[in-house]
A and B are shown apart, each in its own frame.
Chain A
Amino acid sequence: MTAALRNPKIWIFGICLLPLLRLIVLGGSGGLGANPIEFITHSTGTWILVGLMVTLSVTPLRRLTGRAELIRYRRMLGLFTFFYACLHFITYVWLDQFFDPAAIAKDIIKRPFITVGFSAFVLLVPLAATSTHAMMRRLGRHWQSLHRLIYLVAILGVIHYGWLVKKDLTQPLIYGAVLALLLAMRMTWGVMLLQLARSRFVPARS
């Protein structure tokens, strides 16, 4: 038991469940405000973006701190992001549109922000499906190329948010800035690695 509590995975799992727990508690106590469906949609949307940013910061953090074991928590963070994306999508399909296929199809085609959000969700599905060790082994080198789709998903996610707000772009811009930083760090390292390879140095840490 105490050994289990010392495992950070347990703690991360618990923390990742807090946003859902909050919605359940607020829902049970009538705390979701005048427009509960909007509240749930916005809340799950927020946590998807946060999840994407946290998942994408694992690699930079690992490189900055030199702590290779951080990579062990990345899959769980990614899967929780997918979990909240599913909740977000279900909220839209079920609570918002009430399974009206015509209205949903029209929305996806006609509303750019929904087109973009829906695309991001669809792109997340193969990433979640190939997250197991078995799939990693089977895909080999291709696994990493496939999972680079997460960069596109995050960009689409921020565009989705920016496109739906009526006027105040502050929040989408904050997510955009964080994402730009996380992606820029990767580019810098990429360039550095390339230069190192060219000068036949072997990088000390991978």
Chain B
Amino acid sequence: MLIRQPDGILPSDITPPEIYRERRRFMQGMGALAAGAVLGVAPEAQAGAKLAGVHASAYNLDEEKTPFKDVTTYNNFYEFGTGKADPAENAGSLKTRPWTVAVEGEVGNPRIYDIETLLKLAPLEERVYRLRCVEGWSMVIPWVGFPLREIIRRAAPTGNARYVEFVTLNDPRQMPGQRSRVLDWPYVEGLRMDEAMHPLTLLTVGLYGEVLPNQNGAPIRLVVPWKYGFKSAKSIVKIRFVEKQPLTAWMAAAPDEYGFYSNVNPQVDHPRWSQAKERRIGEFFKRDTLMFNGYGPQVAQMYRGMDLKKYF
């Protein structure tokens, strides 16, 4: 049998670099997809993935941002344990896909949103907010999300809707901290209608331009910057419009220590510790806590005439 030796490699045989680079990218993409399939999550939904189409916003601060590492390793998220490092260690068991959020109660358009739909509901914007924990520490975090009012508007609340209740996922298999009765699960939080409609109230899906890490409340959480951190419910599965003021998880746990409003207020102390100052994570000296966490000009009018010592 005669085998004809090719006398050379034709230029047309050589794969142009842009093609083979494309192939490599494709293969890498397939690898990531396979890994995502094993984990049950599409790659673009995983923590660490860049969020596309995030707009800058006017909500910025002239204060240094808390490093990403501190924001994602020093957390209060009792569903994953009561220690500050517990959420970062244990939240890997939370599955953020598939995920739905039920919008229900006193509304004209009740609806169950798929998380992918929610992510495209309104333009995503970055907002740098202060976060003040009721324990006396604070951070500055660049969140990504859209105003909660975007959902409220679409839900068309009835005249009976005076409060909004937020419910966190209740699944001890995914949230090992729920095997302990430290709080009455599921975690429930709430806002008055005008607070929920306020332009500062952010439905949040990311931080530092990336998909929200599980320990920070993935896949979707609330951020209410003028209130203590625990008011901002994490890993939300239900948004309910109601007539009566909801009984929140912390009010049920310790009614004399945690009120419904829980606005940041340096003049109203926690029964066991002072709220006059706070330690900004990363700073040595404590700094003075600001009324409404510095958002007084935007939110104070909602509480005009209210005794903030009584409605703490």
Binding site for B on A (CB under 8 A): 33-35, 37-38, 95-96, 98, 103, 106-107, 110-113, 163-164, 166-168, 170
Pick from B66, B182, B272 the residue with the most CB of A within 10 Å: B272
Question: Contact between A35 and B84 (Cβ–Cβ < 8 Å)?
Answer: yes
Interface readout for B224-264 with A: 1 if CB under 8 Å, 0 if not?
A: 00000000000000000000000000000110000000000
Question: Contact between A35 and B281 (Cβ–Cβ < 8 Å)?
Answer: yes
- B-side binding surface: helix, strand, loop or mixed? loop
Q: B272 is contacted by which of A35, A37, A164, A168 (Cβ under 8 Å)?
A: A164
Pick from A111, A163, A166, A170 the residue with the most CB of B within 10 Å: A166
Measured CA separation A34–B70 after assembly (Å): 5
Measured CA separation A111–B73 after assembly (Å): 29
Question: Contact between B272 and A112 (Cβ–Cβ < 8 Å)?
Answer: yes
Q: B254 is contacted by which of A35, A95, A167 (Cβ under 8 Å)?
A: A167
Question: Contact between A167 and B281 (Cβ–Cβ < 8 Å)?
Answer: no
Q: B84 is contacted by which of A34, A107, A112, A170 (Cβ under 8 Å)?
A: A34
Question: Contact between A167 and B73 (Cβ–Cβ < 8 Å)?
Answer: no
- Complex contacts, A103 vs chain B, CB 8 Å: 274, 277
Known contacts A106-B274, A111-B272, A167-B253; is A33 also within 8 Å of B182 by CB?
no
Question: Contact between B272 and A163 (Cβ–Cβ < 8 Å)?
Answer: yes
B179 interface residue (CB < 8 Å to A) = no
B50 interface residue (CB < 8 Å to A) = no
B286 interface residue (CB < 8 Å to A) = yes
Tell me the B50-107 residues at the A interface (CB within 8 Å): 66, 69-70, 73-74, 78, 82, 84-85
The total of Cβ contacts below 8 Å across the A-B interface reads 53
Question: Contact between B286 and A34 (Cβ–Cβ < 8 Å)?
Answer: no
Measured CA separation A167–B78 after assembly (Å): 10
Output the least CB separation between B4 and chain A (Å). 67
Question: Contact between B85 and A167 (Cβ–Cβ < 8 Å)?
Answer: no
Interface readout for B121-135 with A: 1 if CB under 8 Å, 0 if not?
A: 000000000000001
Question: Contact between B182 and A111 (Cβ–Cβ < 8 Å)?
Answer: no
Apart from A33-B84, A106-B274, A168-B78, list 17 A-B contacts with CB within 8 A.
A33-B85, A34-B282, A35-B137, A35-B279, A37-B279, A37-B284, A38-B279, A95-B284, A96-B286, A98-B285, A107-B274, A112-B272, A113-B273, A166-B82, A166-B135, A167-B82, A168-B82
Measured CA separation A95–B281 after assembly (Å): 14
B47 interface residue (CB < 8 Å to A) = no
Tell me the B265-286 residues at the A interface (CB within 8 Å): 269, 272-274, 277, 279, 281-282, 284-286
Q: How many residues of B contact A (CB 8 A)?
A: 27
- Complex contacts, A170 vs chain B, CB 8 Å: 180
Measured CA separation A37–B66 after assembly (Å): 16
Q: Nearest CB to that of B70 among chain A residues?
A: A34
Measured CA separation A110–B285 after assembly (Å): 22
Question: Contact between B182 and A167 (Cβ–Cβ < 8 Å)?
Answer: yes
Pick from A33, A95, A96, A110 the residue with the most CB of B within 10 Å: A33
Can you report 10 A-B residue pairs in the complex whose CB atoms are below 8 A from each other?
A34-B69, A35-B137, A37-B284, A38-B137, A95-B284, A106-B274, A111-B274, A112-B272, A167-B78, A168-B182
B183 interface residue (CB < 8 Å to A) = yes
Output the least CB separation between A86 and chain B (Å). 21
Q: Nearest CB to that of B250 among chain A residues?
A: A167
- Complex contacts, A167 vs chain B, CB 8 Å: 78, 82, 182-183, 253-254
Known contacts A98-B286, A168-B82, A168-B182; is A34 also within 8 Å of B74 by CB?
yes
Q: Nearest CB to that of A164 among chain B residues?
A: B272
**Those 10 A-B pairs whose CB atoms lie nearest each other, nearest first:** A34-B74, A34-B70, A168-B82, A34-B281, A168-B182, A167-B182, A111-B273, A35-B281, A35-B137, A167-B253
Output the least CB separation between B228 and chain A (Å). 12
Measured CA separation A170–B272 after assembly (Å): 19
Q: Nearest CB to that of B137 among chain A residues?
A: A35
- Complex contacts, B274 vs chain A, CB 8 Å: 103, 106-107, 110-111
Pick from B70, B84, B135 the residue with the most CB of A within 10 Å: B84
Measured CA separation A98–B66 after assembly (Å): 22
Output the least CB separation between A164 and chain B (Å). 7
- Complex contacts, B73 vs chain A, CB 8 Å: 33-34
Q: Nearest CB to that of B177 among chain A residues?
A: A168
Measured CA separation A1–B200 after assembly (Å): 69
- Complex contacts, A107 vs chain B, CB 8 Å: 274
- Complex contacts, A110 vs chain B, CB 8 Å: 269, 274
- Complex contacts, B82 vs chain A, CB 8 Å: 166-168
Q: Nearest CB to that of B273 among chain A residues?
A: A111
Measured CA separation A66–B136 after assembly (Å): 50
